[in-house]
Amino acid sequence: MIFEDFELATIAVHEQVSLRVRTAGSGAPVVLLHGHPRTHTTWYQVAPLLRDAGFTVVCPDLRGYGQSTGPAPDANHTAYSDRAMASDVVRLMQALGHDRFAVVGHDRGAYVAYRTALDHPDQVTALAVLDGVPIVEALERADARFAELWWHWFFFTSPHAERVINADPMAWYQPDRAAMGEENYQDLCAAIARPSTVRAMLEDYRSGLHVDRRADEADRAAGKRISCPVLVAWSRDDDLESLYGDPTQIWSRWCTSPVRGAVIHSGHHMAEEAPEQLAGVLATFLAP
pLDDT digits (tens, 9 = 90+) for 209-265: 999 999 999 999 999 999 999 999 999 999 999 999 999 999 999 999 999 999 999
21 within some domain: yes
Q: Is residue 2 part of a domain?
A: no
Summarised one tens digit per residue, pLDDT across range 201-212 is 999 999 999 999
Q: Is residue 1 part of a domain?
A: no
CATH number at residue 135: 3.40.50.1820
pLDDT band for position 129 (50/70/90)?
very high
Active site residue 268: yes
Above 90 in pLDDT, residue 288?
A: no
Domain count, the chain: 1
Q: What does the pLDDT read at residue 262?
A: 98
3-state secondary structure labels for all residues of the chain: CCCCCCEEEEEEEECCEEEEEEEECCCCEEEEECCCCCCHHHHCCHHHHHHHCCCEEEEECCCCCCCCCCCCCCCCCCCCCHHHHHHHHHHHHHHCCCCCEEEEEECHHHHHHHHHHHHCCCCEEEEEEECCCCHHHHHHCCCHHHHHHCCHHHHCCCCCHHHHHHHCHHHHHCCCHHHHCHHHHHHHHHHHCCHHHHHHHHHHHHHHHHHHHHHHHHHHHHCCCECCCEEEEEECCCCHHHHHCCHHHHHHHHECCCEEEEEECCCCCHHHHCHHHHHHHHHHHHCC
Inside any domain, residue 208: yes
- 204 an active-site residue? no
- Say if 266 falls within a structural domain: yes
Question: For residue 14, is it within any domain?
Answer: yes
The catalytic residue among 77, 106, 268, 269 is 268
Point out the catalytic residue in the list 61, 82, 88, 107: 107
Inside any domain, residue 169: yes
Q: Domain for residue 195, yes or no?
A: yes
* Whether pTM exceeds 0.85: yes
Range of the domain at 278: 7-286
